[in-house]
Structure 1
Amino acid sequence: MCTLALLGTVLSVGGALVEGQQSKQMADYQAKAYEQQSQADAQSTAFEQSQERHKQDLLQAQARAQAGASGVGIAGSPTEVLAANARQGQMDLKALQYSSQLRQNSLNTQAAISRFSGRQAATASIFKAGGNLIPGLSGLYDPTKAVTFGKGAFPPPPGGLSTGGLY
């Protein structure tokens, strides 16, 4: 009976520790996924910015060609329009970068939270294992079967009969 109780305690403690480690592993995998999403977002934004720059270059070239074809010199008002378009294009590029940085920060924060949760789960499993260990071990002790000092290890004979001693 004692070995079954001890085995149950060991399984309970081991199960709590394994559960905590599995929770930590899952949180670490989730954190890695968030970090990969962050990197993918940065790469995607870099590509979007490249496409936007190319589009703006084409629009600028088209605007200069139209101004030149109209017979108007590129001075004064057409130059101001081209400069304003270039400034707006830079603002669009910066907006893309800012939006991407916000998404990356959010994903990196989620990764950090996930790692923290994993560490908390691992720590909690240690306390849970300890919580399972103490009652399990204390349940193994049966005071009715324990040897006490000052008394014999064997119970008295039935009926209170004496064994013929000189008491």
Structure 2
Amino acid sequence: MCTLALLGLAGTAVSVGGALMQGAQQQQLANYQAKAYEQQAQADAQSAAFEQRQERRKQDLLEAQARAQAGASGVGIAGSPTEVLAANARQGQVDLDATLYNSRLRQNNLNTQAAISRFQGKQAMTASIFKAGNSLIDGLSGLYDPARSVTFGGSSLSPRASRAIIGGYTGLY
């Protein structure tokens, strides 16, 4: 009977360990996913910075071409051509700002997903701790057998032997 109790205890230990291990693995996976989201956000920021530099170069070239055309036509850079160049520069800045804004939106989304992933990992770990505790309680309660338990206050001797010890048995009953 002792081996059955030991087997039950071993099964409980395996169940508890498995629940804890599962939670730890889920939390580790969630942390890896969060790190991947953060890396994507960083890559997006670098990509947006590159796009902005490219767009700025393109706008600088277009502005230089427009100035050259205005100068080649013999028109001075004052009045209407200046206003056109200024309007183009403003539109170019709006385009650059839109690129930055969209990048920041994507970065915020990815960072939010990273935070959610970490939170889910913590929830999985907490759930596994409760699951392990439940397995431990179930396993230990299954080991208890009231018929085989130790009782206090009683005697393992026969009633006659108990009376003899307590009252000084004389054998004349």
- 1:38-77 aligned at under 5 Å gives the runs 38-77=41-80
- Partner secondary structure for residue 139 of structure 1: helix
Alpha-carbon distance, 1:105 to partner? 0.3
Letter in 1 for 2:138: P
**Which of 108, 124, 127 does residue 127 from structure 2 map onto?**
124
**Which of 83, 86, 90 does residue 89 from structure 2 map onto?**
86
Alpha-carbon distance, 1:152 to partner? 2.2
Residue matched to 2:118: 115
Distance 1:108 1:51 in 2: 26
Q: State the Cα deviation string for residues 69-117 of structure 1 (Å, max 9, x = none).
A: 1111111100000000000000000000000000000000000011111
Distance 1:46 1:153 in 2: 90
Letter in 1 for 2:58: K
Unaligned runs of 5+ residues in structure 1 are 155-164
Unaligned runs of 5+ residues in structure 2 are 159-170
Distance 2:41 2:172 in 1: 90
Alpha-carbon distance, 1:22 to partner? 0.4
Letter in 2 for 1:83: A
TM-score (norm 2): 0.87
Aligned-pair identity (%): 75
Q: State the Cα deviation string for residues 48-83 of structure 1 (Å, max 9, x = none).
A: 000000000000000001111111111110000000
**Which of 10, 19, 24 does residue 22 from structure 2 map onto?**
19
- Partner secondary structure for residue 16 of structure 1: helix
TM-score (norm 1): 0.90
